[in-house]
Amino acid sequence: MSTKVVNAQDHILGRLITHVAEQAMKGHTVHLLNCEEVVLTGDKNKVVDDYRQKRERGAPYTGPHYPTTPKGIVKRSVRGMVPHEKHRGIQALKRIKCHNTVPHDVDEDDAYEIEDALITRTTAKYVAMKEITQNL
């Protein structure tokens, strides 16, 4: 179908990936730019501890395996929003491309923002994905 480019800077993760998963399930290819600037709401120490606990869970060879890069964490979060064990969910995940910066083959001028997901709409505490991955 078509290609959509989303600038994820200063977007709340949950609200952002809801929109992205919906677009991917409709058949659109979605490029997420600036994944390291995505934010999670909550106290910094609690959020980092939650992700650290996820990383330490399980065994190294048998899993579960959790990513440590910002784009990996965002992609893993999107995976939770789609039926990733069914064929249409697998195809939707293949259509989602996450980038920590702006790649050369994607035009940043076409990028749009999701108004409902912007951090400026809330007064809650938040922490950027970049800070979370640095503390893992």
> Who contacts 84 (Cβ-Cβ below 8 Å, separation ≥6)?
90, 93
CATH number, residue 56: 3.90.1180.10
Note the pLDDT tens digit of each residue in 68-127.
Answer: 899 999 999 999 999 999 999 999 999 999 999 888 888 888 889 999 889 887 778 889
Of residues 91 and 136, more confidence is placed in 91
Domains of the chain: total: 1
Tens-digit pLDDT profile for residues 6-21: 999 999 999 999 999 9
User: Residue 103 has which token pair?
Assistant: 């790649």
For 43-64, letters b (16+ CB in 10 Å) and e give eeeebbeebeeeeeeeeeeeee
DSSP state of 118: B
For 32, the domain range is: 3-135
Provide mean pLDDT across the span 57-74.
89
